[in-house]
A and B are shown apart, each in its own frame.
Chain A
Amino acid sequence: MEKTGAGVNIIELRRITKRFPGLVANDSINLEIARGEIHAIVGENGAGKSTLMKILTGLYQPDEGEIYLNGNRVAINGPRQAIWHGIGMVHQHFMLIPRFTVLENIVLGSEPARGGVLKEKAARQLVEELCRRYDFRLESDTRVWDLSVGQQQRVEILKVLYRGAEILILDEPTAVLAPQEVKELFVNLRNLKDQGKTIIFISHKLDEVLSIADRISVLRRGRMVGTVLAGETDKKRLSEMMVGRPVLLKIDKQESQTGQETLVIKDLSVMGSMGRPAVRHVSFSVRAGEIYGIAGIEGNGQTELIEALVGLRKVHTGQVFILGQPIVGKSVREIKDLGVGYIPEDRHHRGLVLPMTVWENAVLGLHRTREFSRPASLYFKKILAHAERLVREFDVRLGSVDLPIRNLSGGNQQKVILAREMSRDPSLIIASQPTRGLDIGAIEFVHKQLIKARDQGRAVLVVSADLEEVLSLSDRVGVIYSGEIVAEFRPQEVTLEEIGHYMLGSKAQPREGVGA
């Protein structure tokens, strides 16, 4: 058995176990990757995907278990050794130097040189040969800052190929891409596969996995649940494997009952951190009882827009009204006191104070209200009761409200934020990337809460990089590109394809159609 297996399997992991204090990240995991296949590894956050890949690339050493490459037992002691074995990793966050050219970025760190002199010609030949072979359309002298996100990703892949990788590990490669770009990536990956490369594809987006992978392995809570052929399974079954119970995949919601315009934005422009305009002349409005979604590739002004709305960033020009009140120039506190609940995109950075306790976080921003304090003293009993009530109502799982909130899982932290912001009884909820990094159960919960808020007659503004999420949650969707709302429609009116065009800026609705 083993002999034949060695011929087919380029990688075999046997009983890999990796423990961290208080946690078994990988628990006796067996995995076989066949030569020349696209093998997807799926699992929720914290299922142990990254740990497993870090073991494969030598960043972690397993506590127990064995790694076989081509049937030979090996130890991988570091990334250099991993690449020597032909294992290369394409990271989710690109590690490119923007002002260097494509060529320079690719050869950086393993420049072909003799006596300290870069052999540029040789390098160029090699890179261009690679581009040709795998049909990667890239100019080797373009500077990386001129490339689109999808093209940058290709540079990352080339970097790994240039170093002689036979096995490519891609960590959530589609997270940053528009639908069109995802398609192109998949074409590239299939090319690679045809040329005999092996690809390990890490993701939690089941549709994509089903369309690209040959086989799919599912991890849950550090354990290997099983490996299935992509052709023999479906989304429902996969998600059950991932979560361990049946999952509701479609979002259930009624038609919206819209009321008055709660948030009105008129010709809003906001400067970005670099002093360049990040939001340009944006106008739209959100009514009570509807969810307005903003779709777009990250970094197109979403963050700046939202920060301007809640008073964290200065408005450059334009007007914003909440419940009829102009809010430009008002402080965060004044705006929130108008009845705004805010779920920030980065809950560790903006939403919580991690070292402080759950109960302290439960009144963050409410601590000055007459209910919870006077200048001379906080009312501990009331605050504790409040925290316990939120925890109960929002089903937060925790050891004690008296422990620092950093101990909670992402989903439970998000629930605390949601509960806290809801407890202000807001007329407007601004939720930025509300389900980022959460597991399926928590995502469901957050979605339900947002819809419930809508049904209670609140206005909800949702920004998400997850296009599917925006489309399924929202009653209306605006697409943001390069700081402008380039299109606005009802989700059922458009195809994914079309939205993709808007997101990439290759198409825009006529101005008067937007924000009307």
Chain B
Amino acid sequence: MKKRFKYLLLEIASPFIAILFAVLIGALVMLVIDKNPVEVYRTMFLFSFKRLDSVAIILFGMTPLIFSGLAVAIGFKAGLFNIGIEGQYLIGTFLAALAGFALKGLPTFIHLPLVILMGMLGGMLWAWLPIYLKVKRGVHEVISTIMLNYVSFSLIHYLIADVFMDKQQGLAPGVGNPIIRLPKIAATAVMPKMHSFLSNFGINLPQHVYLNWFLVLALLMAVGYYFLVWRTPFGYELRAVGHNPAGAETAGIKPGAVFFKAFLLSGAIAGLTGLSDLLSYFGYMDLDFPRGYGFTGIAVALIGKNGPLGIVLAAFLFAFLNRGAEGVQAFVGVPMETIVILQGVMILSIVVFSSVMGRYIRQQEKKEAALGSAAGKPGVTVGAQGGVK
């Protein structure tokens, strides 16, 4: 088993090497724009980790990315490329917001779960059409999800600006612009923050951070994802279909059915993406509701290699980069673009490094297998003889 461990180590090491590489490229960029990279990175770290509010903000920032990363990953596992997370979470957020403001008088323990369910339902709804089209009509999900993203943008715009817009905002006649938003959600639909819970442990978060229980839900979801994909027969089918639908079909698995379930599940998880912001930060959905979580989720899943721990770590990395960017913008004057470059290089190099590493590992495995079949006796698991060189 020594060898397996070595591969695992290599596989874990590769993203870190890639991050270092990206850090170096970023340093070059900073030198070009006349900033001291050492100071920039130091500020980034100190600002992000020495301040309690920064840590909480990073944790808050990673919450939606865990959801969207998991949603992408579950699609990937089934061999489906769900680019539609973006649209799915907007629709999910909208339905949740609708249930949040339209339903009144419910107790929190009913209202809040209901709102969360509505979010998942919205994501699922928006995932249903592309997967239906794929399974029944052979329409590639990449095309249909991209298109539905655009549809969702316009639909959301219409629903918010023209149908449900909150007209009760106080405005002076003729001047000022209303925020184009839905009415605020009821207090019973607000997700509580973690402040009071954490204060039990002597951690007193400042009021201006919005860290809430969705983080815990996201982490639980990651654990659930692990069990589902690697421990259940459904997860087994998911992976088999993902790697080789024809092979799975021959084994009596119905790829279409697996695609359907996986994609709806992906949509449901995607529907949770916007809820942390909606239910504990903004309290309403406006036209400017944060965008891009879906696309970042693709990068998160890619970097996290579709593994639950990887996704959580990758989400953390992105949230850290965002918070760090605020710090270096404010204190060292590094423009936002530099951080965007850093993120881009990081994604690219992680992808390249991990594919190089993956190929190396496959070669090693092949060698080992060759060794096994040449020297090994039939049926003996030769992994233990790994010491042979």
Contacts and interface: CB of A to CB of B under 8 A. Distances in A.
Do A and B interact directly, with beta carbons closer than 8 Å?
yes
B250 A398 contact: no
Nearest to A355: B243
Most B CB contacts (10 A, CB to CB) among A312, A356, A395 go to: A356
B379 A378 contact: no
A402 B248 contact: no
A400 B372 CA distance: 8
Nearest to A397: B373
Interface in A392-445: 392-393, 395-404, 406-409, 412
Contacts of B362: 404, 406-407
A352 B237 CA distance: 13
Contacts of A21: 363
A380 to B, nearest CB: 8
A350 B248 CA distance: 7
B293 to A, nearest CB: 29
Nearest to B364: A22
A344 B369 contact: no
Interface of A is mostly: loop
Nearest to A384: B381
A451 B19 CA distance: 57
Interface string A321-339: 0000000000111001100
Nearest to A383: B236
Given A332-B249, A399-B373, A404 B244 contact: no
A354 B244 contact: yes
Contact of B381 (A23, A333, A388): A388
Given A344-B250, A350-B247, A398 B233 contact: no
A374 B4 CA distance: 28
Given A22-B363, A355-B243, A402-B383, A397 B233 contact: no
Contacts of A368: 233
A403 B378 CA distance: 15
Contacts, number: 136
Interface string B361-375: 011111111111110
Interface in B240-266: 240, 243-244, 246-254
A399 B231 contact: no
B368 A399 contact: yes
A367 B240 CA distance: 11
B376 A332 contact: no
Contacts of A403: 365, 368-369, 383
Nearest to B240: A353
A402 B378 CA distance: 15
Interface residues of B, number: 39
Contacts of B244: 349, 352-355
A373 interface: yes
Given A312-B249, A360-B236, A376-B232, A353 B243 contact: yes
B356 to A, nearest CB: 13
Interface residues of A, number: 51
A453 B372 CA distance: 28
Contact of B239 (A349, A356, A372, A401): A356
A396 B379 contact: yes
B332 interface: no
A388 B233 CA distance: 20
A499 interface: no
Interface in A11-42: 21-23
B247 A408 contact: no
A392 B250 CA distance: 25
Contacts of A336: 252
A444 B353 CA distance: 43
Nearest to B381: A400
A417 B158 CA distance: 56
B81 interface: no
Interface of B is mostly: helix
Contact of B4 (A353, A367, A402): A402
Contacts of B295: none
Contacts of B281: none
A135 B68 CA distance: 68
Interface string A343-382: 0100001111111100010001101100011111110000
Given A365-B251, A407-B366, A378 B381 contact: no
A312 B4 CA distance: 37
A331 B254 contact: yes
A342 B250 contact: yes
Contacts of B254: 331, 333
Contacts of A459: none
Given A22-B367, A378-B233, A364 B247 contact: yes
B231 A351 contact: no
B247 A397 contact: no
B382 interface: yes
A82 interface: no
Contacts of A377: 231-232
Contacts of B379: 388, 391-393, 395-396
A354 B370 CA distance: 16
A399 B376 contact: yes
A272 to B, nearest CB: 17
A368 B383 CA distance: 28
Most A CB contacts (10 A, CB to CB) among B243, B251, B381 go to: B251
A354 B367 CA distance: 16
B363 A375 contact: no
Given A333-B252, A356-B240, A375 B382 contact: no
Contacts of A364: 240, 247-248, 251
Interface string B326-344: 0000000000000000000
A368 B240 CA distance: 13
Interface of B: 4, 231-234, 236-237, 239-240, 243-244, 246-254, 362-374, 376, 378-379, 381-383
Given A407-B366, A408-B373, 4 more contacts: A310-B250, A360-B236, A397-B373, A404-B365
Interface of A: 21-23, 310, 312, 331-333, 336-337, 342, 344, 349-356, 360, 364-365, 367-368, 372-378, 388, 391-393, 395-404, 406-409, 412
23 contacts: A22-B370, A310-B250, A331-B252, A342-B250, A349-B244, A349-B247, A353-B240, A356-B239, A364-B248, A375-B233, A376-B232, A377-B232, A391-B379, A392-B378, A396-B378, A397-B373, A398-B373, A399-B373, A400-B4, A400-B368, A402-B383, A403-B365, A404-B362
